[in-house]
């Protein structure tokens, strides 16, 4: 590969990383705590490219490395970087659920194993405190204090058609509310969800809702996938948040 191509590739990679970090699109791919590392690495790529370009200008054009070829095909390596700059992939949603796994909140060796319980801290104050869906599922399965029993809570997420209805009964109000959970980045993305009971209308997949309701006691333990059911008392459509992913360990 010619040095000019190498330098341009470094410059484009650094520019792409800086661009998606500074405009917030990085949240579609990685967790927020990686922001400073993205900025530092992006600046590093740009600085390396500029230093190499200035050095080559001062020294004059350098011959290409014959081992790597000098054909126009080498420029095709710039395609993926240019695509990231021009067509950034969106955050994961309902359309990617078929290729991702659900979160196994409670690891177990067999379907007959009962989730172990332990005391959770009290719910946040308020008539209907906001909870991440992952926290709600954990509490429904493992909280020995049963902090969710009889308490109205608020959750938010996107609508996802249950697997049993994928083939495709889109005319049913029976839906799940889901969030994507990542540990580091979308490469380890999984889905965590709750069943919604009492929805009065059909909601399309990928619509974002804020839902208030009460968890049906023991519904998670009765479900083959350990998914709790929340009986909806009210809900409203909301715009998709900037931070669409929840974060696991």
Q: What tens-digit pLDDT sequence spans the chain (249 residues)?
A: 577 777 888 888 888 889 889 988 888 888 888 999 999 999 999 999 899 888 888 887 545 555 555 555 556 666 666 666 666 677 888 877 766 656 655 555 455 566 788 899 999 999 999 999 999 999 999 999 999 999 999 999 999 887 644 445 556 678 899 999 988 888 888 889 999 999 999 899 899 999 999 999 989 888 888 899 999 999 999 999 988 999 876
CA 68 to chain centre: 38
pLDDT at 224: 83
Q: 208-215 and 245-247 as β-strands: parallel, antiparallel, unpaired?
A: unpaired
ω into 168 cis (within 30 of 0): yes
Q: Are 232 and 199 in contact (CB under 8 A)?
A: yes
Helices 3-22, 35-59: axis angle to 10 degrees equals: 150
Helix axes 3-22, 79-86, angle to 10 degrees: 20
- In the prediction, which pLDDT does 167 show? 46
- Which CATH code fits 94-247? 2.40.50.140
Strand segments (E) across the chain? 101-102, 152-160, 175-182, 190-197, 208-215, 229-237, 245-247
The reported pLDDT for the residue numbered 98 is: 62
Write down the pLDDT at residue 91.
Answer: 82
Question: Whole-angstrom Cα distance, residue 130 to residue 24?
Answer: 24
Predicted TM-score of the model (pTM): 0.76
Write down the domain spans for the chain. Answer: 3-86, 94-247
C-alpha torsion sign, points 96, 97, 98, 100: positive
- Residue 107, Cβ neighbours under 10 Å: how many? 8
CA proximity to 137, closest of 193, 190, 189: 193
8 Å CB contact between 230 and 214: yes
Estimate the share of the chain in helix, then strand, then coil, as percent rounded to the nearest 5: 35, 20, 40
- Three-state DSSP state, 192: strand
């Amino acid at each position: 590969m010619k040095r000019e191509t190498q330098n341009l590739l470094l410059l484009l990679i650094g520019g792409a990383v800086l661009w998606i970090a500074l405009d917030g699109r990085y949240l579609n791919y990685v967790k927020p705590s990686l922001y400073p590392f993205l900025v530092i690495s992006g600046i590093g790529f740009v600085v390396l490219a500029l230093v190499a370009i200035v050095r080559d200008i001062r020294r004059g054009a350098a011959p290409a490395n014959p081992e790597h070829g000098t054909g126009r095909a080498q420029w095709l390596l710039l395609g993926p970087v240019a695509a990231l700059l021009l067509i950034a992939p969106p955050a994961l949603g309902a359309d990617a659920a078929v290729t991702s796994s659900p979160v196994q909140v409670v690891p177990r060796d067999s379907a007959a194993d009962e989730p172990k319980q332990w005391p959770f801290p009290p719910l946040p104050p308020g008539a209907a405190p906001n909870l991440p869906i992952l926290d709600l599922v954990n509490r429904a399965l493992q909280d020995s204090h049963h902090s969710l029993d009889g308490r109205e809570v608020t959750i938010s997420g996107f609508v996802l058609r249950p697997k049993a209805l994928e083939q495709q009964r889109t005319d049913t109000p029976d839906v799940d509310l889901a969030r994507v959970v990542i540990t580091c980045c979308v490469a380890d993305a999984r889905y965590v969800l709750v069943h919604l009971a009492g929805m009065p209308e059909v909601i399309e997949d990928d619509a974002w809702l804020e839902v208030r309701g009460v968890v049906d006691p023991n519904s998670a333990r009765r479900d083959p996938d350990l998914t709790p059911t929340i009986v909806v008392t009210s809900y409203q459509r909301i715009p998709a948040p900037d931070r669409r992913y929840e974060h696991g360990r």
